[in-house]
Amino acid sequence: MFQLLKYFLVRLGISLSALLIFGYSVLYLVHEIALPQVEFDDDLIQWALLLICTFFGFLAYGVIGEQRFHNAFHALKDAGPLDDQEEVTQQFENLLRFTESSYFLPSQARRFRGLVVRKYADYLYSIGREEADALKIYLKAFLQNPKHSKFRAPLLSILSQGGDLTESEIDLLMVMLKAENFEDDVIINHLASVFLRQKKLTGKTEPVFLCAVENESRDAQEILHFIVPILLANRRSDVTALRFYLHALPLHMPGEGPMREIVARNYCEEYLEAIDPVLHEKCGQAFHALDSGQRSAIQRSVEDSRLSGKVKKVTFVTRDDVRDISLWKARLGIEKSIAGKAASGVLGCFRWLGNAGRQLLLWTVDGLAAFGRTRLTVKLVSLAVVGLLVFAGLGGIEWKRTQKRAIKEPVSLPQQEVALPPPLPRPTRNGKVHSIQIAAVTSAKQADRVVKTLKKNGVKEIFIVKSPRSSGGDWHKIRVGKFDTKEDALQLAKRLMDDKTIKNYFVVSLPKTENPESGNRQSSLKGG
């Protein structure tokens, strides 16, 4: 976890530093020095800078670290006993520490560390080192391949020097035994003596004791005197216990009678004949060594047990066991459950998708591993090509986005300048007030609706003038503003027409002595 944390934090820091220094420098050069007067969208440049900084922060940094490792490892390839031992040892130690740096992911660091450990162990073995630091390297090299390792000898030499072994050292010896399929007599006898001193009988130590007894080690009799009473006290009659009994019978130990009875009963029950024929034959020899009376008694006892077993059936399968048996039948394909039959199609689909995803992941990992084994030049060229393709893709995306914007936003043609006539001289004030009448409706509700619409559009100074109609009823005239000149009124009317706030209007002119909210005189000027 610490290695993974270092990997991402360091590379992220390098990427951010490169982005802050290199990225902002490039943007400053482009905007302030190269194109100071040009305004353009620099999103594509920013994405390109982000990809470049990420490339150098993550990929290029890792490639540099990998190349440094290979160079240092290649320099130690031909190290031998004639070289300066202290200098070579220090180089190996430095290379081991280098594999723990932030250049590598945990899996890659373990792979490189394994290469260094194997080479380092070979070098230490060639110069005959057996101190504590060398034994640690031997152990690491041995654990990489316990079955075919030449480093067992120095490890055994240090483990056999007497004294009590720790739990980890005992586990190491057990690994050695398991790798040799319990065929190394030296390790077996040494472990058996250690376990015997500790009076330690467990499921892990029992096979070691049995192998030591069968190998006729010097502690064989002491092991039998230690183990057999414990087995008899627990009435053990399994295969391991029978082997201990058969080895203990020639010694005429206490409890010989019960041991012979257990061995003879197992022979008469005949279940060992299919499991272990050799052991069954040895039990038969012990059975035939008994006198005829003992043999007859044991045979009758076995027959009675069989008959009583036929009469009285022992129920040992519970309801939970039945459910577990059904599940295992479904898993092993003996019988499909109802739910399994119903969901077989869905599960098959998910299983196919899982297999396809797993295969795709394996192909990806294999491809990355093959890419990692290529030369540095090939890696840099490949990464450069990928970078160009990415930039081209981003450029294509930006071009499509620009085309879409051009379609959505119609191009505005330059407007031709129209020569306006010179402004008319501003008329003098003639003692009148001017207002804009924009509508005349026959009901107060309609007038209120028009007024609300005008107020929503920001129009102020709205008046409603009520006057009688010739056909009956009243007109409700909506007027806006009070102006001293018609030009001011027309200017407001034009602005409202341009904003599409109003559609038609009249300019109403009244003497200043009359109230514009109640006057009935109006000019015939019509606009819009």
Q: Which two tokens stand for residue 440?
A: 């005349």
Return the closest-CA partner of residue 167 out of 149, 191, 150.
191
218-271 pLDDT per residue, tens = 888 898 989 889 988 888 888 888 889 888 888 888 888 888 888 888 888 877
Q: Can you tell me the mean pLDDT for 511-526? A: 48
216 Rama class: left (phi>0) / alpha (psi -120 to 50) / beta:
left
Residue owning tokens 């000898």? 153
Phi first, then psi, for residue 419 (nearest 5°) are: -75, 115
Element (H, E) at 467: strand 462-468
Question: Which amino acid is located at 192 in the chain?
Answer: A
Q: Can you tell me the mean pLDDT for 38-54? A: 80
Question: Which amino acid is located at 447 in the chain?
Answer: A
Q: Does position 408 have pLDDT exceeding 60, yes or no?
A: no
- Which pLDDT belongs to residue 428? 44
d(Cα 42, Cα 39) in Å, to the nearest integer?
9
492 vs 159, higher pLDDT: 492
Whether the Cβ atoms of residue 508 and residue 437 lie closer than 8 Å to each other: yes
Mean pLDDT of the chain: 75
What CATH number should be reported for the domain whose range is 432-527?
A: 3.30.70.1070
> Side by side, which strands form the sheet with 432-441?
462-468, 474-483, 432-441, 505-511, 526-527
pLDDT band at 522 (very low <50, low <70, confident <90, very high): very low
Q: Which two tokens stand for residue 357?
A: 């995803």
Q: Can you tell me the mean pLDDT for 38-56? A: 80
Check residue 251 and report its DSSP letter.
G
% of the chain residues with pLDDT over 70: 69
Q: Can you tell me the mean pLDDT for 293-320? A: 68
Q: Is 317 in a helix, a strand, or coil?
A: coil
Phi first, then psi, for residue 510 (nearest 5°) are: -135, 150
Measure Cα distances from 516 to 131, 508, 513 in Å: 116, 8, 9
Phi first, then psi, for residue 441 (nearest 5°) are: -120, 165
Question: Which amino acid is located at 280 in the chain?
Answer: H
d(Cα 321, Cα 275) in Å, to the nearest integer?
26
Whether the Cβ atoms of residue 70 and residue 62 lie closer than 8 Å to each other: no
d(Cα 482, Cα 432) in Å, to the nearest integer?
10
449-469 pLDDT per residue, tens = 888 888 888 887 888 888 888
% of the chain residues with pLDDT over 90: 0
d(Cα 47, Cα 42) in Å, to the nearest integer?
9
Q: Does position 193 have pLDDT exceeding 50, yes or no?
A: yes
368 vs 274, higher pLDDT: 274
Measure Cα distances from 100 to 3, 63, 74, 121 in Å: 7, 16, 18, 18
Rounded to 5°, the CA angle 87-88-94 comes to 90
d(Cα 305, Cα 485) in Å, to the nearest integer?
132
- Which pLDDT belongs to residue 82? 77
Cα 19 → chain centroid: 26
Q: Which two tokens stand for residue 218?
A: 């010097």
Q: Which two tokens stand for residue 163?
A: 């004294």
- Which pLDDT belongs to residue 330? 67
413-450 pLDDT per residue, tens = 444 443 444 444 444 445 678 888 888 888 888 888 88
- Strand locations in 385-443, DSSP E? 432-441
- Which pLDDT belongs to residue 394? 60
Whether the Cβ atoms of residue 525 and residue 486 lie closer than 8 Å to each other: yes
Whether the Cβ atoms of residue 118 and residue 77 lie closer than 8 Å to each other: no
Count of CB atoms situated within 10 Å of the CB of 42:
15
d(Cα 455, Cα 461) in Å, to the nearest integer?
9
* Per-domain boundaries in the chain: 432-527
* pTM recorded for the entire structure: 0.42
Q: Does position 396 have pLDDT exceeding 50, yes or no?
A: yes
Most confident of 141-145, 171-175, 193-197, 379-383: 193-197
67-109 pLDDT per residue, tens = 888 888 888 887 877 788 888 888 888 888 888 887 787 788 8
Q: Does position 184 have pLDDT exceeding 80, yes or no?
A: no
